[in-house]
Amino acid sequence: MGKKNKRGVAIGAATSIVGIVIIAAALGGWFEDKNVQTITVMGSTTVLPIVQRASEAYMEKHSDVDIRVSGGGSSVGIRAVGEGTADIGMASRDLKSSEKKEYPSLKKTVIARDGIAIIVHPDNPVSSLTLEQIRGIYNGTYTNWKDVGGPDMEIVVINRDSASGTREFFWKHVMHKENFVEGALEKNSNAAVKLTVSQTPGAIGYVGLGYVDASVKAIKINVNGELIEPTVANVLNGSYPIARSLYLFTNGEPKGVVKEFIEFILSPEGQKIVEDEGFVPIR
């Protein structure tokens, strides 16, 4: 082989090595912008759509911030922020006494209000229930829709999983801490509950107000003969009986970019996102 050919082979080999090093460096994060600040948010699937939309809007204005949002349920979010694996925990319920004891430094911020809608399949002719009837369905007293004025059809009870803050609130404020019926189908998100109800004619479930759409029918709550729809207006005026606050938790008072992001959600622009997502703004 001539000197020129040898030189060409050597240069080609060197170029290949440099290319491999550059690729490895990129994959290994050597060229990442060290000035980018990352916020990790975990928790409630009810709060999730608010924070996802807010994070997108915030990152459009702040290219030096990377906000990573994931679900898992309120209990997961609270534990993650308490143990330091997340900067912010999303929750659709307040802290349990055990959580207050285990994570005494957690601080909460209310970012929105929400109604819990009781949903059935769109073809189900039942359009209203009392809280007592809903509790009866979920504790197993009523097992057929004819028991509550509907057709002769088995009731398929859809529940949330044990990590859900929505389930915790429902258990306290609707069930009065009674046991749920055995055999209920447990789902790990509002979206999963809605999908199952939309595909199951005899099903009943409960979801955050922002998840209600044409694929399911939201039941009116019969309060002393008055039929109250699950709407933002009725949550605001206090007439809808299954309503709650939505929270963000931090370990200690929020600081730096975490504080700025929470303040963005509480700003007029952030509260407009809350409203656009079907929840109730607090400002």
Residue-level pLDDT at 33: 54
pTM of whole model > 0.85?
no
Question: 114 forms bridges with which residues in the sheet?
Answer: 244
Cβ atoms of residues 161 and 73 within 8 Å: yes
Mean pLDDT, the chain, whole residue set: 91
46 vs 9 pLDDT, higher one: 46
Q: Let me know if domain 115-243 sits in CATH 3.40.190.10.
A: yes
Residue-level pLDDT at 132: 98
| Average pLDDT of the segment spanning 248-275 | 97
Give tens-digit pLDDT for 112-139: 999 999 999 999 999 999 999 999 999 9
34 — pLDDT class (breaks 50, 70, 90): low
Task: Return the number of other C-beta atoms located less than 10 Å from residue 256's C-beta.
Answer: 10
Measured in whole angstroms, the distance separating CA 155 from the mean position of its chain's CA atoms is 26
Residue-level pLDDT at 1: 55
Dist CA 169 CA 172 (whole Å): 5
Q: Let me know if domain 37-113+245-276 sits in CATH 3.40.190.80.
A: no
The yes-or-no verdict on residue 4 having pLDDT over 70 is: no
> Which residues make up the CATH 3.40.190.10 domain(s) of the chain?
37-113+245-276, 115-243
